[in-house]
Structure 1
């Protein structure tokens, strides 16, 4: 009798585990439990959204609630979440490129209702109806995304303007004001792509290495490869900022290039507007004097807080894109390609001797260009590339404030089309 009772208890427990969140994979159960606790008084709204979601959309809704920032757990309502899910899945059913996506990409780069810290607008239905005509009858996703990029400005009537009310302006507010800067424009473009099932995310940097500002843009997943595009488009992986992005410092997170992730990655999106924790990781001593005081004041005002915008470090991809563009660009008759590597010591045959430093190139006193030399973990065939003039002498200034490095080299270019330059810090 005792065995029968024990078996009955096990069956009840197993049945309870299966029906706790019907239709939701067990991997989400503990995450949902935590989310509902954090939601407090708003938990019934989230539970209603999960309960009323159609069976085919259950896992997607579970994903969204499980990884939802706490600011949204306590405020978002069931109707908002259900409509967002309904139209995201409509796009998945309608467009072949969306239907073909792995769930992991669809959940993280199509289904989310927001990008960074913008207001949570109910944009999904409106954008689905607005941008479907540009995706209609397109043979492939690239044709669709280019059609949207070429027409979005006129469709939403939003132009670049620094007079916008806030940096991280939401789609509907940008359309109300008819203006936005790079963050707001990129949010508009990314949401337009997501509305028609194109996986998209924001990318950006907190500060260029030349300290002339920052920037945000959109990325799209094409043939399983992330490529970038802007609100005012050239074409994929082409824009004015490539040279700035290609000079990112892989050793300094202030200058990294980040891409946004809805699902937590363990790495904050340090390019986020609403991210005072960025100030807490800036070493003021590494900043130029002309911006140090401004950042000191920002650092003093910044309060440490938990991040809720997550990201990936995609710096190296942009460095590689820029270096590849230089390598593939046509050389003039009097130009050569300089392949620069910095070594910590004279053992230049080992990757462990490579030292990532800033390298500035001067002709006389005129600053021509700069970049960051490959790291010890980079492929030995990777170089910092500069287009320079044959037969001309240049000064290469190697610096790293963190390591107290400041050393100058003078090198005269030869007459071949390429020249390898090894800058050895300690002989």
Structure 2
């Protein structure tokens, strides 16, 4: 007799026992009492099924057909998937992704050492950010397992993947790529990608062979214009996260050109913080500069780790003075001034008035070699004015004349 799956309900052991005793098959009741895995995220799973709308049957099918050993992982994957995925992904896609993720966990010694919560959050997911949902898992397993088959440690395995990904996928960095958030096969079809597209490729390559991985990035540098994304990997030896890139540094993990700039990130600023992606909800979202309205990708703020990692590259707060004043018609004008860095207000005050000593300025202590914005109101038009300045790397002060 077929059990109807129109509803999924939680059953206590007593309820199941009564149902079995009277020979009743209730819609949504599992054949085996332990089929429904009670977890810390059962409530999120139920909510996600509601969000799925007309696609709920596909998610139910994935939950029903997943092997028992993989069931808890499937529950986690669906519980925290973006709502847009819940309404669109089919069961075959989800079952294939989970099956090959568990295959890597079974076949590689380092993958077996990964704690379950890290495996669920940073190996099992089928997506990195908001890219198109390609069915890459099986293909990437076959592509990259040959490079790690002789690796004895995870570090050997991740280095093998990192060194061979360009040769295997034949994708290079190129600003002529069609879009920043390309999926794996979109990048492979073009042979080019942005730093975000390259990071998605590397992230998937690591995950395909059971290496915990996530995309990290900063929406805006404090030291220059622009943003950047890269990849972090979790290692079982120290149970910690380390960074690398599609083009790896010869010195290995936690080395590369980006460290000097990352060490000067500002953890108090939304735009100047460094984030690492997460599958499970965190209360924060990963800022995707190509679509800042999209808040579906959870994230953790990891800025402090990069500031500490930068060591001598991390610049103190008392390194440079902005000496600000406003001149109109050869005379100083006292006006309110706001000093910003991205979305963060650094300071506000008033520029010197005509009767002040010429050696007096409105002074703000900031960091060397970083970008700041000054904002004030024009005396005549009343319009707000904004001026961008970059502090010097080799001086302890910078005189700034508002408006010129």
Give the TM-score taking structure 2 as reference length. Answer: 0.72
Is the 2:262–2:306 contact (alpha carbons within 8 Å) kept by the matching residues of 1?
Answer: yes
Question: Cα offset for 1:147?
Answer: 1.0
CA contact (8 A) 2:110 2:153 kept: yes
Residue 234 (structure 2) aligned to one of 216, 221, 231: 221
Which residue pairs with 2:348 in the alignment?
A: 404
Structure 2 equivalent of residue 251 of structure 1:
268
Match of 1:30 among 28, 43, 46: 43
Corresponding residue of 1:312: 300
Bigger helix share: 1
Q: Which moved more, 1:15-24 or 1:117-126?
A: 15-24
CA contact (8 A) 1:105 1:199 kept: yes
Matches within 5 A, 1:4-403: 11-12=14-15, 19=30, 22-222=35-235, 223=237, 224-234=239-249, 235-270=252-287, 272-273=288-289, 275-277=291-293, 307-323=295-311, 325-326=312-313, 340=316, 342=318, 359-360=319-320, 401-403=345-347
1:245-279 C-alpha deviation (Å, 9 max, x unpaired): 11111221110000000111001112x245424xx
| Pair 1:408–1:88, CA change in 2 (3 A) | closer
Secondary structure of 2:54's counterpart equals: helix
- TM-superposed deviation, 1:92: 0.3
> 1:286-333: CA deviations, max 9, x gaps?
xxxxxxxxxxxxxxxxxxx6x21110000011111112x559xxxxxx
Q: Secondary structure at the match of 2:247?
A: coil
Partner of 1:370: none
1: distance between equivalents of 2:13 and 2:245? 56
Contact kept? 1:174, 1:184, Cα under 8 Å? yes
The structure-2 alpha-carbon separation of the partners of 1:341 and 1:184, relative to structure 1 and needing over 3 Å to count, comes to: closer
> RMSD in angstroms over aligned alpha carbons?
2.8
| Count of matched residue pairs | 312
The offset of 1:341, in angstroms, is 5.8
Whole-Å separation in 1 of the counterparts to 2:93 and 2:203: 19
Larger CA deviation: 19-28 vs 254-263: 19-28
Is the contact made by 2:263 and 2:313 (CA closer than 8 Å) also made in structure 1? Answer: no
SS in structure 2 opposite 1:255? coil
The answer on whether the counterparts of 1:134 and 1:147 sit within 8 Å (CA) in structure 2 is yes
Deviation at 1:23, TM superposition (A): 4.2
Mapped partners of 1:24, 1:124: distance in 2: 25
Contact 1:42/1:75 (<8 A) preserved: yes
- Give the whole-Å Cα distance in 2 for the aligned partners of 1:308 and 1:340: 34
Cα distance in 1 for partners of 2:135, 2:159 equals 24
Q: TM-score, normalised by structure 1?
A: 0.68
Structure 1 unaligned segments of length 5 or more: list them: 1-8, 278-304, 328-338, 343-358, 363-396, 410-422
Q: Against the structure 1 CA distance between its residues 361 and 218, is the aligned structure 2 distance closer, same or farther, given a 3 Å change threshold?
A: farther
Give unpaired runs (5+ residues) of structure 2: 1-11, 20-25, 323-338, 350-361, 366-396, 398-404
Q: Secondary structure at the match of 2:255?
A: coil
Say if 1:237 and 1:173 are closer, same or farther in 2 by CA, change over 3 A: same
- Provide closer, same or farther for how the CA distance between residues 398 and 80 of structure 1 changes in structure 2, counting only shifts above 3 A: closer
C-alpha distance after superposition, 1:180-221 (max 9, x if no partner): 010000000010000000000000000001341010000001
